[in-house]
Amino acid sequence: MMKFLSFICSFLLFLSCSEEYKSIDVSMIAHAGGLVNGATMTNSMEAINSARDNGFKFIELDLSFTSDSALVALHDWPEYNKAMGMPERGDAPLSLEEFMEKGLPGGFTPLTSAEINDFFLKNDDLFFVTDKVSDADILNRFFPRLRHRMVVEAFSYDDYVALLNNGYFCAMYSCMAEDIVPATMKHLLFHYMFPGPKIEMVALHTSAFEYSYLKLLRLFSDFKIALFTVNNSYDIPADCIDEIKFIYTDSLRPGDAAW
């Protein structure tokens, strides 16, 4: 019986993935600021200026807190401390003053929350993407005038709902959220049975297309995907293009995609 059910599911999945997609609308996101002077993931002023000049409309920056509770563009402190020759600090953050004085690896210019605000307010056709902090109260405090142009990866269903209720342009559910399985089962597959908004978009790593769980979600529910991180457009399964709304990239540029 189980083998028969498995065959039926596989057959239905084959049919759903054999469709030729005609309508494709994919936006590319400059990952951690994007490529600049051959360097990736710098989260720097130089990177976001380069991304803007190269036609990106969506620019992602990682966010981390300093020891004195300032918010800066930085992937994480252990990686930073190691790159700056301070591995003994581990995950200990610097103060804002120390961080700005030391700068970023490679001599790039660091970004404070004030400078991020200034950049996106001056470039009002661009969208700010972030995938480290998803607490709406924190984001409201640091970026009060950007929410209508912010795409945020939520790390819990409560954060997802709060982002929607606070008027953020787009909230996407993280595949790394601790409650990813129960949340997507309730609010994506069976959302009509539970209170709260449906999950409309899930942020996924490229390897996730091999997971049986994702295949089940794709088979039985309609949702969009924010895919990370893609540096060769041919790496994306052709049958998945129609479901993808955003693609994070280090080195591709808008217009480089193969589809």
Per-residue model confidence as pLDDT tens digits over 206-251: 888 888 888 888 999 999 999 999 998 788 877 888 899 999 999 9
C-alpha neighbours within 13 Å on the C-beta side of residue 212? 3
Per-residue model confidence as pLDDT tens digits over 96-155: 999 999 999 999 999 999 999 999 999 999 999 999 999 999 999 999 999 999 999 999
CB 47 within 8 A of CB 106: no
What does the DSSP assignment read for 150-219? EEEEESSHHHHHHHHHTT-SEEEEETT-TTHHHHHIIIIISGGGSSSPPP-EEEEEGGGGG-HHHHHHHH
What are the tokens at 92? Answer: 């200990």
pLDDT at 60: 98
* Reported confidence tier of residue 6, pLDDT bands at 50, 70, 90: very low
Exposed/middle/buried for residue 86 (C-beta within 10 Å: 0-12, 13-18, 19+):
middle
Q: What is the dihedral of CA 241, 242, 248, 251, to 10 degrees?
A: 40
**pTM, rounded to two decimals:** 0.88
Per-residue model confidence as pLDDT tens digits over 87-100: 999 999 999 999 99
In angstroms, the Cα distances linking 172 to 96, 144, 176, 223 are: 29, 19, 12, 10
152-168 core/surface letters (b: 16 or more CB in 10 A; e: else): bbbbbbebbbbbbeeeb
The pLDDT of residue 4 is above 60: no
For residues 252 and 51, give the distance between their C-alpha atoms in angstroms, rounded to a whole number: 11
One-letter amino acid identity for 66?
Answer: T
Q: What is the DSSP letter of 231?
A: S
